[in-house]
Each structure stands twice: as C-alpha cells, then as structure tokens.
Copies of this chain bind each other. A is one copy, B any other.
Amino acid sequence: MFQRLTDYIRARVEADDESLAFVLSHFKPVKARRGELLLNFGDVCRYCYFTNKGAIQIFYLDKNGDEATRDFVFEGTWVTELSSFIHQKPAKESFKALEPLELLAISRDNFFKLVEAVPQFAHIYQKNLELSYTRSVERIGSFVSMDAEQRVRWLYENQPHLLTRLSNKAIASYLGISPETLSRMKARL
C-alpha cells in the first residue's frame, strides 16, 4: 500500500526510518472506481493525493458542458487543486478516475504540518512545485505559440504514452481541439 510512496520518497531525499514512518502515518488509502469523481468543481478540495495506481483527468466544464482537460495524472505523481487545497475554498476544476484508482490521501492541515516539521518533505514539495510550474509554463506556451496541428505533433513527440493509454476524446480535450479534428490529423500523420 505504501510501497510506491516509500520508494518515491527514498529516491528523492535521505530519510531515516522514523521520519519516513512519521510522514507515511499521515496518509490514508483511498480507492475509486472508473468514472468516479474524486473532486467536483464547487466543492472544497480537502485532500492532496499521491497516485499509487490509475489515471486521473483534471478538467473544467466549458460553456457547452463539455469536459476541457487541464491535465492528466498517473501513478507515481501527486494531484490536488492547489488553490482550493491551500485556502479551502471552492474548486474550479473536477477530478475524474479514468481507470480504477488507488490513492493515498493527506489533509491540508497534515500536509502543511509535514512541510513545517520535516525538511525532506518540504524539499519534495518545493521540487514538485517547480516541476508542475515548469510543465504548466510549457503548456501555456503551446497554446499561445502553436496551432492545432503543431500541438498534436508536439504531443506525439513529447507525450507518446498518452496516446496509447487515453481515449481520443480525452486527448482532444487536453489539446483544446475537437475529437473529430484530432482523428483527422492522426489520419494525416
């Protein structure tokens, strides 16, 4: 249950058994079925999750009620609606299980207690913020500087694993294009 998170931590920081156990003790296992909503926009995001297994779609609803994907999350990474999580205010995004999920959940208070108390945990948090921010910046760049075809090419070259694991519909909404357009472009490449 905690094996993956243990490996994750040990791969990133030096941690004695006691600190590690202390950190792990603040997480509790959570499961979700395919299609289940982990977070519904409008609700407060009470937890930060470490993903043991599965795939999650983070999305907005556009004016037509269609899902507009902000990001995907897979095993070995974290997921939370940071703004909602930090300030415990209503979330603007929703999380949906695209596959059966095994997660480890930690509450806001416990999370920041660990950040204060365990320097290694603060370090992991900092590195994650840096990485998440850097990825977001790249993604913004793709929207302001590329057209639909260039973004599809970019996905093929930089995130090919997404193509094999996710539905066309999900990928299209991630690229900000319609499923039909993605289908046509795949046929042309």
- Residues of A in contact with B (beta carbons under 8 Å apart): 60-63, 68-71, 82-83, 86, 92-93, 122, 125-126, 129-130, 132-134, 136-141, 143-147, 150, 173-174, 176
**Given A133-B132, A133-B136, is A145 in contact with B82 using a C-beta cutoff of 8 Å?**
no
Q: How far is the CA of A32 from the CA of B93 in the complex (A)?
A: 40
Q: How far is the CA of A71 from the CA of B60 in the complex (A)?
A: 22
Contact partner of A129 among B61, B129, B141, B150, CB < 8 A? B129
Number of copies: 2
Q: How far is the CA of A126 from the CA of B173 in the complex (A)?
A: 31
User: From DSSP, what is the main secondary structure of chain A's interface residues?
Assistant: helix
With both chains docked as a complex, state the minimum distance between the C-beta of A128 and any C-beta of chain B, in angstroms: 9
**Given A125-B126, A140-B139, A140-B140, is A61 in contact with B133 using a C-beta cutoff of 8 Å?**
no
